[in-house]
Amino acid sequence: MKKAASAKGAASAKKAASKAGAAKATASKASGSKASGSKATASKTSDSKAPASKASSSKTSAAKKAAKGAAVKKAPAPKKVAVAPKKATARLKGTAPAKAVVHPPGDESPTALVRRARRMNRELAEVFPYAHPELDFENPFQLVVATVLSAQTTDLRVNQTTPSLFAKYPTPEDLAAANPEEVEEILRPCGFFRAKTKSVIGLSKALVEDFGGEVPGRLEDLVKLPGVGRKTAFVVLGNAFGRPGITVDTHFQRLVRRWRWTGESDPDKIEAAIGALFPKSDWTDLSHHVIWHGRRICHARKPACGACPIAPLCPAYGEGETDPEKAKKLLKYEKGGFPGQRLKPPQAYLDAGGTPAPPLGAG
């Protein structure tokens, strides 16, 4: 009886266990199906949201592009560079430049420098179309002597002195045989008259002994004469023989450095640097333009910036007086009634309204 009862209990326990296992399996299936259902729902939800997010991002990028395009369109146009007027002489009547265009030397390319330098020379050629050597001479001998005498003095003073000198000693032979004391007395108004007397008598002797009394037309020969350097030689070559040369005097040195055409200070290096900016055919006239501008407008201590025809091209604009009316008073300009340097200037200068210089002792 006991065995039968235990068997029945075991059977009932097995049945209960099997029912419990079935219940667990059913529960796990149900949970699995729910989980898969939630995953599917989530994936569907994410898929439905994806196109909307892409569309919104594309709209945002399109809006950004449109805004960027509008910003580009609204950007202000670059300012126009102020340039000197075609007729630069109008500036000398008191019209101030609209704005100075500063060219920092470090930012200016070699090509830009060449263009600016050549344009400045063209502008000066319009202002001084009659520019010429400001020493009176009738032949190469007179020019070489006058140029030697012009050191440390004005061309005007030389021109007032040489008529007496050439009247008494018209040829190299005459001056070579002259009494030094008599020559010194004539040259006294030029300053450094003893040294200059020695130079002009010495170069006259060299002309007679080495060149048959004729002034040579070659640079290497001219620089051998007493008192004649490269500057004097180029004055003679350019103006007596028509051979191009750059005259690097004090005005020329000052202006080409002020204009940032070169940073050199040695005359020979300045000559080489400026010669590289211009064609050789321009060298002689270029020298006249720069020297005339330095004497009349772009002075050493107080340049007349407000009346300068090339102010828009000058990196040193503002170093001098910029007020047009005040600057106009600084001009030493022959059109304003000032006399020139020569007693016998070229006809083109007189036709342009230039006034001859007075002789020595006049006024």
CA 343, CA 324: separation in Å to the nearest integer? 31
Planar angle of CA 134, 272, 88, nearest 5 degrees: 50
Q: Are 334 and 355 within 8 A, CB to CB? A: yes
Which is nearest to 298 in space by CA: 173, 37, 120, 164? Answer: 120
Q: Are 51 and 57 within 8 A, CB to CB? A: no
CA 208, CA 141: separation in Å to the nearest integer? 11
Residue with tokens 């007729």: 87
CA 340, CA 333: separation in Å to the nearest integer? 9
As given in the structure block, the two tokens for residue 340 are 């020139």
CA 116, CA 109: separation in Å to the nearest integer? 11
CA 262, CA 277: separation in Å to the nearest integer? 10
Residues 111-150 as b/e (b if ≥16 CB within 10 A, e otherwise) read eebeebbeebbebbbebbebbbbbbbbeebbbbbbbbbbb
Beta bridge mates, 339: 355
* SS3 label, residue 355: strand
CA 264, CA 278: separation in Å to the nearest integer? 17
Which is nearest to 183 in space by CA: 159, 208, 166, 158? Answer: 166
Catalytic residues: 231, 249
